[in-house]
Amino acid sequence: MSGVELTDVTGAGDGRDRAMTESVQNETGAPLLQVDDLQVEFVTRDGVARAVNGVSYSVGAGETLAVLGESGSGKSVTAQAVMGILDTPPGRITGGRVLYRGEDLLTMPEEARRKIRGRKIAMIFQDALSALNPVFSVGWQLGEMFRVHEGMSKKDSLKKAVELMERVRIPAAKERVNDYPHQFSGGMRQRIMIAMALALEPDLIIADEPTTALDVTVQAQVMELLAELQAEYRMGLILITHDLGVVADVADKIAVMYAGRIVETAPVHELYARPAHPYTKGLLKSIPRLDQKGRDLYAIKGLPPSLLHIPDGCAFNPRCEAATDRCRTELPLLQPVLDEDGADLAGRRSACHFWKETLRG
């Protein structure tokens, strides 16, 4: 777990968080993926939307990083920038680096990057029905990975497709390999997306809301399957979600995003036990609990800010019950969370001026 380290580099002159990241990496070895001060914006008719504002994190082999936050926080845009599938225009990367095994994907020729995409870094999309081509059978689409990257024949690639479908526990794979996406249930389509991502045994998988629109039982099955396959292949996994319940049993560390920035990072169990940012605290309070039957669910007041007009200071200050004048004027940096003796709490970070009070509360 200690090999996953995250920082949010805000401001060109601030190198403290980067130094902390490099220190951990020197101890644990080079990460599979290192995102460093990534910045992404979208040019719209109404102005420039700052979707990602200096996000940094790294993931090693066999580690799971969960990225949490409400819709519009920048989770998926960060993943798209990493994969090189950002819609350009209107999107554009304005700064930062994305290093895969030390090589910057952002400066790499497209032909070279295409060889990494799918083979070394794969992605599971949140809407399997939209991601799969409706006019081709699932076997043809799974086999395409082997035909394009491995030069396999149609016959051999179809055999590999059956093997993959069996690996992700799709019943009667041989009989169903020529079926089309609409002939599968939502849970089975998501398993096909997982099989497609696993086809070439990548080093890293980015799973973008992989359990969206699935019922609770199927969600649990999909997450269990992902965890099992990750352990078997020792892959790095970035799990993007807004559902804290989904990641509780599978993540090593969590990064919480808000308005394009990481506002808190922590080992999963410590974050659940003692959040150090008011936004994280609000997310946790909004989880339904069995001992609160009959009560109204807690909801964070207000809405996330427009990325065209991010508030000054802490972006969360208009919704924060503990905000002060300092929060409205001074941008908080992601800083170490310390114990009462001043020791670093297992790499915990919070972008809150008053993290001590939040942690105690």
Angle at 70 (CA atoms; ends 216, 65), nearest 5 degrees: 75
Q: How far apart are CA 203 and CA 286, in angstroms?
A: 34
Short-list 150, 148, 141, CA closest to 179: 141
Tens digit of each residue's pLDDT (9 = 90 or more) over 256-276: 999 999 999 999 999 999 999
Short-list 275, 276, 274, 272, CA closest to 332: 276
**Does position 124 have pLDDT exceeding 60, yes or no?**
yes
Dihedral of alpha carbons 275, 278, 283, 286, sign:
positive
Instruction: State the average pLDDT over residues 340-346.
Output: 73
Q: Is 207 within 8 Å of 246 (Cβ atoms)? A: no
Q: What is the pTM of this model?
A: 0.85
* Location of structure tokens 């490099």: 22
Q: How far apart are CA 235 and CA 87, in angstroms?
A: 27
Q: Please list the residues that pair with 239 across neighbouring strands.
A: 66, 207
The predicted structure's pLDDT at residue 29: 56
Instruction: State the average pLDDT over residues 324-338.
Output: 94
Query: 339 versus 322: which is more confidently predicted?
Result: 322
Q: Please list the residues that pair with 262 across neighbouring strands.
A: 257
Q: How far apart are CA 297 and CA 361, in angstroms?
A: 20
**Domain residue spans in the chain?**
123-201, 268-360
